[in-house]
Amino acid sequence: MKELNIKQDIRKFTKKELTEFFVGIKESKFRAKQVYEWLWKKSATSFEQMTNLSKKLRTVLNEHFDIRPITEDFVQHSNDGTIKTRFRLHDGHLIESVLIPVPSQDRYTVCISSQVGCSLSCTFCATGKMKRLRNLDAAEIYDQVVAVNKQCQEKFEHPITNIVYMGMGEPLLAYRPVKDSIDLITSKEGLDMAARRLTVSTAGIAKMIRKMADDGMRVNLALSLHAADDVKRNEIMPINNQNNLATLTEALQYFYHNTKDSKITFEYITFRDFNDTLDDARNLLKLCRKVPTAKVNIIEYNPVDGVEFEKSQSFQIDKFARFLSNNRVAVTVRRSRGKDIDAACGQLANKE
């Protein structure tokens, strides 16, 4: 059991460790279940909210433990209904989450962050220009979902329907807290959301994709691809130097064969005169044929200060998508949401 000589974040304790604590102070084991439910199912932010515990026990908990929730720092509303929220962590660091509502499809998606900043330095991404300061812990990831879900219900009278780990940071470089947060979100003791409603997006770390499969993570997987040949991908995504397309393809095949109910998507931002030609589409088609059931999301490029890439022309995007569709690849063209508040793909950088 963890040492209790100083206050610790109680949400880093497992239910077993909480049980050991209560037994150690001559309390019933049942108290661990009660506290655990307050922390996760009810998202309590203070021990005073735990009203089915005696005042004396709440005082004891307060002497030993902290609860360190994230707090809302700044909210921006886009003309298209998208809402970006900047949250402050207990140590002062800032992260961003985005609510993307599509009422016509009864779809309300929250895009959440897994790191403060990012270390991958993708050339087209605002977050990639920031330093990675630290990983979030599972509770900080979980809190984003809880806070944005409340926001969604207040604004749209509807709970969130989908969660995407596509905000700030690389989720597979924060693997343990990301996995723990997924376990909590999908647990009946937490938010009890179906795993098929969750998508983890990665820039491509082959060994961690394999680990997801080995750990039985049944969430959907999105690979931020953006180029279907190694030369171009190396140019815009340094991670490709250590995780080339052949290695990633093998990892995706492994993931598919071990989690056949999970969906695999290639996320593909089109850049004008760089990766939007029919030759690029043919390369992407070859890759899709190697990964069973893979679909493609084509994403408009969103301007980032100091980046020279330009958005592909609409007719070129449509031609690119039509080629894939005509070759029996499931493809969606995603028009950007929240560009006017820097909430679109690749724009999260804690700007006001």
- Supply 55's token pair: 């005042």
What is the rounded CA–CA span in Å between residue 230 and residue 227?
Answer: 8
- Mean pLDDT score of the chain, rounded to an integer? 92
Considering the four listed CATH numbers 3.30.70.360, 1.10.150.530, 3.40.30.10, 1.20.1050.10, the one that applies to the domain covering 8-66 is: 1.10.150.530
Q: What does the pLDDT read at residue 338?
A: 59
What is the rounded CA–CA span in Å between residue 177 and residue 183?
Answer: 10
For residue 148, pLDDT beyond 80: yes
Tell me if 13 sits within 8 A of 61, measured CB to CB.
no
Is the CATH code 3.20.20.70 the one for domain 71-341?
Answer: yes
For residue 19, pLDDT beyond 60: yes
Q: Please report the DSSP string for 212-252 in residue order.
A: HHHTT--SEEEEE-S-SSHHHHHHH-GGGGTS-HHHHHHHH
Split at pLDDT 50, 70, 90, the class of 4 is very low
Give residue-wise pLDDT tens across range 31-46: 999 999 999 999 999 9
Give residue-wise pLDDT tens across range 260-284: 889 999 999 999 999 999 999 999 9
Give residue-wise pLDDT tens across range 63-98: 999 999 999 999 999 888 999 999 999 999 999 999
Q: What does the pLDDT read at residue 5?
A: 56
For residue 344, pLDDT beyond 70: no
Q: What is the set of active-site residues?
A: 96, 345
> In terms of pLDDT, which residue wins out, 219 or 127?
219
Q: What does the pLDDT read at residue 128?
A: 67
What is the rounded CA–CA span in Å between residue 111 and residue 100?
Answer: 8
- Supply 129's token pair: 């220009």
* For residues 121-130, average pLDDT: 76
Q: Do 8-66 and 71-341 come out as alike in CATH topology?
A: no
* For residues 321-328, average pLDDT: 97
* For residues 112-123, average pLDDT: 89
Q: pTM value? A: 0.91
The domain ranges of the chain are 8-66, 71-341
The CA angle 173-177-181, to the nearest 5 degrees, is: 130
